[in-house]
Amino acid sequence: MKIAMTKALAAPLLVAGVMWATGAWADDKVLKIGVLSALTGPGSEWGLSQDGGAKIVAAEINAKGGLKVGDTTYKIEVISYDDQYKAALGVSGATRLIEQDQVKFIVGPLGSASCLAVKPLYEKNGIIGILGCWTDKALDANTKYVFRGNPTQVEIAGPMVAWLKKNKPSLKTVAEIEPNDETGWASQKLMKEQYEAAGYKFVASELVERNLKDFQPMLTRILADNPDVIELATMPAGNAGLVIRQARELGFKGQFVKTGGPGAPEIVAVAGKEFSEGIITFIAADHSKPYYKNLEAEYAAVLKPPMNSFTVNFYDTVHMMFDAMQAAGTVEDTDKVRLAMEKLTPYQGLQGTIRWGGMKAYGSNHQIEPPFFVGVIKDGEEVAVDRIELQ
């Protein structure tokens, strides 16, 4: 896939906001969509996947002449605000998008605290939101306008633990390290349940601040319990890399598993090639496939590489959002758009069939269910070793 674009247009908007558009347009109308996510700091590798997915799709649509909805063709503009993984900035960014920018469609946030803070604003104002947060509280039986654009641990933890049990049967005990926030609290509870249900013994569980750099005191406590596995779950990739390096330096010889947001390149960069060898990871897409290489090239045209594999999920779900506008015949009536979006299942995504699901887990079928992959870091590269279909 190739796109034609000009340089991004920048404006000093709230919290490092950017208005971004492509192409030269004179007469057609403009459709603004928002991105509200962690674009800097810990977790930004995932937040940028939301921003990148939205901008790539906008570039593709604009390069083809715009989005035709009914008799009107729209140029797509993306307005991006950085919430820095903080709920307060999430609220201020969402308020700016809704009240000042008059946006009806927002990709993000990513952080669970931000998601829970802005979701009432989305629901109250009829804003179609494509969330990326992992908390199970983001979706419920009363959810109308919010969709989740990536799989979470609710979808992936069971299959990942089952894969580990089958392929590494000698491992028996687990310690877990999580961020000390809404994302980590939910993950800590879920991962303990999944590991214990599979017959593992949980020997330690720690919560750490996202800005922590020295993990040695905490690791000394954990290693005293002799875990076979250290589960890093929702730890940002950079923090995970520091944990891995410091644990190896303290003598840990066991298995690292990361059943959480992907980010192997940053893990390897921080932990080092030697210490990263053999880490088992969740990955959202197979990096070796042509579709991924093509998307990486498009990503490099709109944002600075490297691209996180979550970009594939948001690329697909943003496309679904625009397809829903066309099916509904409107960009104004978000009730019609959300109903059209709910009907886009099954849907052909970049790497196969994706579906809306989640009724059993959340009471809402607004959870995307794409295929995902089990990865292993080998010689400094993340390699997909198994594909898992969510049915």
The burial class, CB within 10 Å (0-12 / 13-18 / 19+), for 70 is exposed
Residue 162's alpha-carbon distances to 81, 196, 249, 299, 354, in angstroms, are 38, 11, 29, 33, 22
pLDDT by 10s per residue, the chain, length 391: 333 332 232 333 334 444 444 444 445 699 999 999 999 988 898 999 999 999 999 999 999 999 999 999 999 999 999 999 999 999 999 999 999 999 999 999 999 999 999 999 999 999 999 999 989 999 999 999 999 999 999 999 999 999 999 999 999 999 999 999 888 998 999 999 999 999 999 999 999 998 899 999 999 999 999 999 999 999 998 999 999 999 999 999 999 999 988 888 899 999 999 999 999 999 999 999 999 999 999 999 999 999 999 999 999 999 999 999 999 999 999 999 999 999 999 999 999 999 999 999 999 999 999 999 999 999 999 999 999 998 7
376 CB neighbour count, 10 Å cutoff: 18
Residue 69, strand partner residues: 72
259 in Cβ contact with 156 (< 8 Å):
yes
In the chain, the domains with their CATH numbers are 18-151+287-371 (3.40.50.2300), 154-283 (3.40.50.2300)
pTM for the whole thing? 0.87
- Per the listing, tokens 């995902």 go with 372
DSSP-derived secondary structure letter, 82: E
HSE-CB for 81 with a 13 A CA cutoff? 27
* The predicted structure's pLDDT at residue 11: 32
CA 207: distance to chain centroid? 21
